[in-house]
Homo-oligomer: A and B are copies of this chain.
Amino acid sequence: MGVKCRNCPIRKLPLFDPMTSDEVEFMEHFKVGELSISPGAPILSEGGNTPQIYTALSGMGLRYKLLEDGRRQVISLVLPGDFIGLQAGVMNQMTHSVEATTSMRLCVFDRSELWNLFRTQPERAFDLTWLAANEERFLGEALAALGQRDAYELLAWALARIWRKLEALQMTNGDTTSLPYRQQDLADAMGLSLVHTNKTLAKLRAARLAIWADGKLTVPDIEELEEAGLCRDTPLGSRPLI
């Protein structure tokens, strides 16, 4: 898996920014070990304790939250370079669950050490805090910002976004990429029913905008796809200066 992030990347918002070498080095300082996770296994559970935080070195997963009525809200995908467990609360309690959808390798940090950041590197501390606050954000949220769209545009937007993300991580191969998520995952992320998601994906497929099959995503023409989703990203991810 030809991922750029070697060991302990901080990926700033917007999530596509690569990490500078001294940032990598800086994070090395906090590293306490590595961890392997098998596909389908939970990494962190809502309400659980996390004295440590992780970054994904390889593999994919997703953040989600179980709702009272039994539905599941997917918050975001977990890709190599992402933090996991950063935003756990006062008692280190997680506010959502994280699960691997492929086998994953994780890099482990000691959470308490991170407080040093605030003393030694205020600007980086700002980045981290901001990242933590935003980690909780929903994929669908930014969509709300853009105004409610119908399922067609919603999914076009989501696929285009995922594609761009993977592209930035050099995880695409020509116009195809491997993407171990089920249609149910996508549906949960967008707040649509599985059935309707399926039908809408069929429409996208018929329009030859995005072919989602067999755990693979093929995007013949990304620009066209982005246009179909009116892909105007909100400045939500833009980095503020307080």
Contacts and interface: CB of A to CB of B under 8 A. Distances in A.
Given A73-B145, A144-B138, A232 B130 contact: no
Number of this chain's copies in the assembly equals: 2
Interface stretch (A33-41, A119-127, A194-202, A215-223): A119-127
Contacts of A89: 235, 238-241
A146 interface: yes
A201 B6 CA distance: 55
A69 interface: yes
Interface residues of A, number: 49
Given A145-B65, A191-B148, A125 B134 contact: no
Interface of A: 65, 67-69, 71, 73, 86-90, 92, 95, 111, 114-115, 118-119, 122-123, 125-126, 128-130, 132-134, 136-138, 140-141, 144-148, 191, 230, 232, 234-236, 238-242
